[in-house]
Structure 1
Amino acid sequence: MVDIPAPIIHYIVNFLLETRSLAYLLVNKDGYLVAWGGKLVEFGITNLRKGENIGEQVFFLEGLLPLDDIPLFLPLIKTEYGICADIHIFPSDEGDWVLLLDSTWNEKQLSLIQQITNDCSLLREKLTKIPNQ
């Protein structure tokens, strides 16, 4: 593992906690919810029941768990509440962790870049038509 000084690790953790809503779920290998925490309500996840099947409680996880010991990253997933989330699913000895990080800012930046690219394409198209007129 890379030797990272403690102040840098603390800065990164604090930065993530301050700038991106974070929520997590722990699901055992049989698909049952073990633990959860963070700002789940912001992602539209409520009324969780410990010991019950996670796919019946959090529908987007249906068919994704259990993991085969290979982490899974799903970027920019839009929730029904309009929140855009980066979803990290990774295995551990306790079960599979599902980490949700708010990525609304990234989505807005990507959308802005896409709009600028579209505008440039339209302008280029107009400019190529001018000599023909």
Structure 2
Amino acid sequence: MLELPTPVIAYLIALLLENRSLAYLLVQKDGALSAWGGKLAAYGVGNLQKGRNIGQQIFFLEGLLPLDDVSLFLPRLKTEEGICADVHIFPSEEGDWVLLLDATVDEMQLSLIQQHANELSLSQEKISRVLNQ
């Protein structure tokens, strides 16, 4: 495993907490929510109930849990409220962890790239039409 100096780890954690609105859920293998924390409100998640099935509380997790022994990454997933999040789901002895990280900046950058690609394509079509006339 990569060994990092403590100041580097502290910086990365602070950066993550400051810029990515970290939130987490711990779900038992039977689907019951057992713990949660972080900035869940930033994703429109609230009124969680311990012991209640997670799929009934957070719609996009329905059918994804329980995990076997493989982690799952869902990039730029839109929540019910339209908030863009990177969702990391990984198994542990305690249950399955669900991490939410804000992906709004990534989504905006991808949107800009797509917009530029579309504009380039339109420009090429116009040039082709002019040259063919």
Equivalent AA in structure 2 for residue 25 of structure 1: L
- Give the match for residue 112 of structure 1: 112
Distance in 1 between the 2:106 and 2:132 partners? 40
- Give the match for residue 5 of structure 1: 5
TM-score by length of 2: 0.96
Distance in 2 between the 1:32 and 1:112 partners? 40
- Give the match for residue 103 of structure 1: 103
Q: Summarize the alignment of residues 18-29 of structure 1 with structure 2, pairs less than 5 Å apart.
A: 18-29=18-29
TM-superposition CA deviations, 1:4-35 (whole Å, max 9, x none):
11111111111111111111000011111110
TM-superposition CA deviations, 1:31-89 (whole Å, max 9, x none):
11110001111111111111111111111111100000100000001112221000000
Contact 2:33–2:51 at 8 Å: present in 1 too?
A: yes
Contact 2:86–2:100 at 8 Å: present in 1 too?
A: yes
- Give the match for residue 61 of structure 1: 61
Secondary structure of 1:90's counterpart equals strand
Q: How many pairs are equivalent?
A: 133
Secondary structure of 2:131's counterpart equals coil
Q: Summarize the alignment of residues 40-51 of structure 1 with structure 2, pairs less than 5 Å apart.
A: 40-51=40-51
Task: Tell me if 1:82 matches 2:86.
Answer: no
Secondary structure of 1:116's counterpart equals helix
Q: Which 4+ stretches in 1 moved above 4 angstroms?
A: none
Secondary structure of 1:50's counterpart equals coil
Secondary structure of 2:34's counterpart equals strand
CA RMSD of the aligned region, Å? Answer: 0.8
Distance in 2 between the 1:130 and 1:4 partners? 58
Q: Percent identity?
A: 66
Q: Name structure 1 gaps, 5 residues minimum.
A: none
